[in-house]
Structure 1
Amino acid sequence: MMVVRRFLSASRYNMPSFRSRPVLLAIFGVCATVIWYLFFFQSNLKMADLKKVATSRYLSQEPSLSELMSNVKIKPIEETPVSPLELIPDIEISTRKKYDASWDLLFRGRKYKSFNDYDLHTKCEFYFQNLYNLNEDWTNNIRTFTFDINDVDTSTKIDALKDSDGVQLVDEKAIRLYKRTHNVALATERLRLYDKCFVNSPGSNPLKMDHLFRSNKKSKTTALDDEVTGNRDTFTKTKKTSFLSDMDTSSFQKYDQWDFEHRMFPMIPYFEEHNFTNVMPIFTGSNGGEPLPQGKFPVLDPKSGELLRVETFRYDKSKSLWKNWNDMSSASGKRGIILAAGDGQVDQCIRLIATLRAQGNALPIQIIHNNQLNEKSVKLLSEAAKSTEFSSGRAQSLWLVNVGPTLESSMKSNFGRFKNKWLSVIFNTFEEFIFIDTDAISYINMADYFNFKEYKSTGTLFFKDRSLAIGTEQKCGPLFETLEPRILEMYYFNTLPMINGDYVEQQCMGMLTPEEKVYKRFFEVGHQHNLESGLLAINKNEHIMGLVTATVLNIAPKVGGCGWGDKEFFWLGLLVAGQRYSIYDIDASAIGVPQQKQSIANGDEFDEYRICSLQVAHTSYDGHLLWINGGSQYCKKPETFEGDWTNIKELRESYSDDKEKALKAYSDTVKVEAAIVPDSRSNGWGRDDQRCKGYFWCGKFTSKLKPYTYNTVVTKGDLIRFGDEEIESISKINKIWNDAIIPDGA
């Protein structure tokens, strides 16, 4: 009261009399209430913060973030920053110092926020704007990629880099900086955050692309400044009140969203809103007519797969490239089957279409190609899809999709052979798709794969390959380990690795999930063959960035050899992208007629069954055949017969030197009675010779009486004998595939 009395006596008002003291107390109470309200409810400080003021992240004497991270083995933050994430810890420390020094108790919590106090949109703006501020020449071009690992023999190479006077031009630090600046891990980091910010943002509220790149030329503040200096906090803008607005955005303002998209995805030609139609695929229907004008796409009935109408695509510049692509896919077709083919695969495509017609498939089909189908091929495929002379089965809704315009011309050479498959999985226009190789055969309805529990769980369904004990290059495991989210990204953007590598390393196989088993086989055991990509199902709208990441990795020279063709990159791409995936937990098998023999090893008698086949087969949990890869012929490479006959003695002996009989057998339909799933823990697969270009593998199942027991049988592997009805069904489908021929004159 004395303080209030002195304040009022110094004013032009006289101190109220004792009789007015209740009024004075009321005024004082109101003032105290207002101050209390402003302090606790209008500032950014919460009651809980004040209760923990001694241990808060701003005022505590606990170790700083950089000190905490020093206990974890990461690169020192003092190194030249190459990622926007590496800017944050030092700025956080500076911000906390400003907070501590500020006397603005009411508003310092707003002015000096921690990075994690900002919403995702603001974090995304900070990251992508500072890509340009750190390096105006940044790019995701695969030709510039390297790895930040110790794989350079500096002792000899540095000495060679001298000028004419013998002066050393480079040292180990310069090489390390170059490797960090061009580290492929920076590209995978950008792709993950692009997905989180612009495609599959939490809450289905991606950052608007044109919002990120807007600029107000009349003001020196940027869109980022607007966000962090009051726009969302409803107080007057104060320039340079946040570490986010302290950043210089002059470099970033030179560029626009079209430059950004092209740097992110150099495999797609440069485009802008007005000419996006120039990079759209060209669609041709199976009615034999002319292709649709570029920029138009078919809208298909989600139930029948038939054409409903043709629409013109309008690029929405407020959305990212891949968000636009997902929107077009959702409008075009809900679910469908996709293939990758050129003129050389037309024969197999026709055989596949014949089996789909016989099974009454109702899913629409897209055959994706890169200017690789000529007019004759288009006519043959259209005939196979519709002709009643070719098949009495259901006509197919078939679309040929030419993605030649969608691919940067300088990148086309990177998509040869197996890698052509990536064009189909990222550039098809289905929301959900089943990819199938042209020489694969499904024995269940294709639409049924969408109903598998694995697919429903993660929007993906993958199958295992033969468990062959063939190793990868030693570098492959360490290379991929560097590509997963690092500590700064995990802390600030909450992008966590999908699999805990330390846990997997310590556990035995029996305790792991199917995905962890494959991870362990690749990263710890070093096996090259883990996933089979002849048939797989993916929700493209959910996993488009994982597929793009997989594509980039498979065509990158440094890691392209870490898997056989494209197979391993499906799960590795999703792993690196931080996306969940599912693998069917049954190992691949050999199919055919089992051959039995009795053997003795280490004094133990046992029964051994073997099946040798070209086909890689996949069975269900309840022992039925789902699908095979490799066609239904004994050998899908009949042109190898002459060489095989000359060089393989066992082949001649098995056919009693009857060459004509052997030649016919190479093209005959394979007989299927059973499947053998070899034991993945032992050497259950082997090859007797190199027939059919080395594609023949033998699967082994063994059974023996356990020593010193009366009737306990020990088995290795699984022998699955199919029932008569299933054998007949398999034989029928295999014969259709093998005998499919387009009528003369088609």
Structure 2
Amino acid sequence: MCNGMGESFEFAKDHTKIPIEPPFKYQFWEVGQRSRNLSQWITTLDSQWGSKLSKQDKHLLVHAIEETAVSLFPFLQPPDTKQDSTAPLSALRDSYTKGSKGIVISAGGSDSSVRFAGHLIASIRGVLGCTLPIQVAYAGENDLPKHRRDALSSLDKTHNTEFLDVWAFFDDAALQLRRGGWAIKPFAALASRFEQVIVLDADAVFLQSPDVLFEQRAYVNNGAYLFHDRLLWQHAFQDRHKWWKEQIKEPSPAMNKSLVWTKDYAEECDSGVVVLNKSRPEVLVGLLHIAWQNTYDVREEVSYKITYGDKETWWLGLELAGSSYEFEKHYGSIVGWGKEDDMENKTVCSFVIAHTDEEDKLLWYNGSLLKNKLVDPHNYEVPIFWMMDGKWEKGGKKDMSCMVDERAWWLNGDEISVLQHSIELAVQVDELLGLGEQN
């Protein structure tokens, strides 16, 4: 036993002697390989075999885990306001409530983000009847002032909404989350007390209760469930694909199912909804890799330059860390409106991407309840058609994107009712927050 633990300790020392340093572009694979060691050691520690280790062997294993974790992910060390921890990863894992499930929504940074978070909370509670606890994540007092937190809290009639200041968990010096926009999301997922967590963009719109995400076969089997982006721009981003091929040296079965990987399309993930089970060590370590990609230096050099924002960091972190994960079966669908001259009913247009559950029923879409959040902050409109597996015709800021060449389906009565009621509550939220006139 001691030889095995000693070997782990030597690996950890090697990792410390040869730290991950810039330029980061070609370090993603190496971070993934070291993450796989970390995942294996945690799995061993948590196992029945780990419980039988001698005190000395267990000490060596814990030391290897913590030394490797801090060398790879220095953001794990608590902020200066807290005493330095010799075991920050263990402390983080111990902070999770065993068996807990919940929702995390990032709502700081702008009035529009607060507004959409309000719409989402009101719909989840008042329309869909979801009782999962909610944590609203932000980065410091100026990111989401108390009067905004109080207003959002008042929207939850179940009184089960909490607030999660990510600055209280991680030293922001290397993260700069107030400047990062989307970058806060993986750190909020890490910091959340929920063991099983649904991470939501504030502008997500649900047609079913978020509870059903935890019931999807792909999530139950893998512990990490993701959603696809639009299938667009085949062969258009050769530098991006070349870099992916260089860093993903041994693609997983999940990767080999990807049309982005196998057919050279541009974008894989719509990260507006991500579902993770942090009780699985390989998923937690994959999340750490995702968070590393969203640290300031890495995102400014690589992650947000080669791809768009945080979207591709989610699957890439899980892939490189050797985590089990699965995407929804279809690439991005659409909800929206038909064209007057579309006599065959084979065109649906809007500004959003829609997603289905494992039974091909509409589950959620991105982009808010507004018809076009980027142009008109007042115009709510219920979409009436949807389509999946068609061909995308990409629009712009003012021109809707369309999906064509497949059958357009009517939204059913229950789906229309959910959206109508959600819009009614959204108008009330706008009045409460005083944000309906904001662009």
Pairing of 1:320-399 with structure 2 (within 5 A): 320-331=87-98, 334-344=100-110, 345-358=113-126, 359-371=128-140, 373=142, 377-386=145-154, 394-399=157-162
Partners of 1:573 and 1:374 lie apart in 2 by 27
Give the corresponding residue for 2:73.
Answer: 265
Give the corresponding residue for 2:420.
Answer: 731
CA contact (8 A) 1:619 1:626 kept: yes
- The higher-RCO structure (CA 8 Å, 6+ apart) is 2
Partners of 2:65 and 2:326 lie apart in 1 by 34
Cα distance change of structure 1 residues 581 and 406 upon mapping to structure 2, 3 Å threshold: same
Pairing of 1:30-429 with structure 2 (within 5 A): 120-131=4-15, 136=17, 138-141=18-21, 143-147=22-26, 183-198=27-42, 203=47, 211=56, 261-269=69-77, 277-278=82-83, 320-331=87-98, 334-344=100-110, 345-358=113-126, 359-371=128-140, 373=142, 377-386=145-154, 394-413=157-176, 416-429=180-193
Mapped pair 1:676 → 2:363: no
Give the corresponding residue for 2:401.
Answer: 697
Identity %: 18
Give, in angstroms, the shift of residue 498 of structure 1: 2.8
CA contact (8 A) 1:597 1:608 kept: no
Partners of 2:342 and 2:369 lie apart in 1 by 30
Give the corresponding residue for 1:36.
Answer: none
Partners of 1:618 and 1:580 lie apart in 2 by 21
Which of 293, 304, 308 in structure 2 is aligned with 1:553? Answer: 293
Cα distance change of structure 1 residues 190 and 212 upon mapping to structure 2, 3 Å threshold: farther
Give, in angstroms, the shift of residue 537 of structure 1: 1.3
CA contact (8 A) 2:332 2:354 kept: yes
TM-score, normalised to structure 1, is 0.51
Partners of 1:146 and 1:533 lie apart in 2 by 22
CA contact (8 A) 1:464 1:530 kept: yes
**1:571-592 per-position Cα deviation (integer Å, ceiling 9, x unaligned):** 1111111111121112322212
The count of residues paired between Structure 1 and Structure 2 equals: 423
Cα distance change of structure 1 residues 732 and 623 upon mapping to structure 2, 3 Å threshold: farther
Which of 345, 352, 365 in structure 2 is aligned with 1:628? Answer: 365
CA contact (8 A) 1:120 1:197 kept: no
Partners of 1:740 and 1:204 lie apart in 2 by 51
In the alignment, residue 332 of structure 2 is paired with which amino acid?
A
Cα distance change of structure 1 residues 719 and 523 upon mapping to structure 2, 3 Å threshold: same
TM-score, normalised to structure 2, is 0.83
Partners of 2:55 and 2:234 lie apart in 1 by 49
Q: 2:230 aligns to what SS in structure 1?
A: coil
CA contact (8 A) 1:437 1:535 kept: yes
Give, in angstroms, the shift of residue 209 of structure 1: 13
Give the corresponding residue for 1:454.
Answer: 218
Cα distance change of structure 1 residues 598 and 442 upon mapping to structure 2, 3 Å threshold: closer
Partners of 1:559 and 1:257 lie apart in 2 by 26
Give, in angstroms, the shift of residue 457 of structure 1: 0.8
Partners of 2:149 and 2:191 lie apart in 1 by 20
Give the corresponding residue for 2:353.
Answer: 616
CA contact (8 A) 2:338 2:345 kept: no
CA contact (8 A) 1:546 1:579 kept: yes
Q: 1:541 aligns to what SS in structure 2?
A: coil
**1:224-283 per-position Cα deviation (integer Å, ceiling 9, x unaligned):** 9xxxxxxxxxxxxxxxxxxxxxxxxxxxxxx99876553222224478xxx99447xxxx
Give, in angstroms, the shift of residue 570 of structure 1: 1.2
Give, in angstroms, the shift of residue 126 of structure 1: 3.4
Partners of 1:270 and 1:741 lie apart in 2 by 37
In the alignment, residue 145 of structure 1 is paired with which amino acid?
F
In structure 2, list runs of 5 or more residues that go unmatched: 435-439
Cα distance change of structure 1 residues 628 and 185 upon mapping to structure 2, 3 Å threshold: closer
Larger radius of gyration: 1
Partners of 1:529 and 1:738 lie apart in 2 by 34
- Higher mean alpha-carbon deviation, 728-737 vs 623-632, is at 728-737
Give, in angstroms, the shift of residue 416 of structure 1: 0.5
Give the corresponding residue for 1:580.
Answer: 324
Pairing of 1:631-642 with structure 2 (within 5 A): 631-638=368-375
In the alignment, residue 252 of structure 2 is paired with which amino acid?
M
Give, in angstroms, the shift of residue 617 of structure 1: 1.3
Give the corresponding residue for 1:432.
Answer: 196
Cα distance change of structure 1 residues 129 and 262 upon mapping to structure 2, 3 Å threshold: closer
Cα distance change of structure 1 residues 197 and 613 upon mapping to structure 2, 3 Å threshold: same
Give, in angstroms, the shift of residue 568 of structure 1: 1.8
Partners of 1:430 and 1:443 lie apart in 2 by 23
In the alignment, residue 437 of structure 1 is paired with which amino acid?
D
Mapped pair 1:530 → 2:268: yes
CA contact (8 A) 1:678 1:718 kept: no
CA RMSD of superposed structures (Å): 3.6
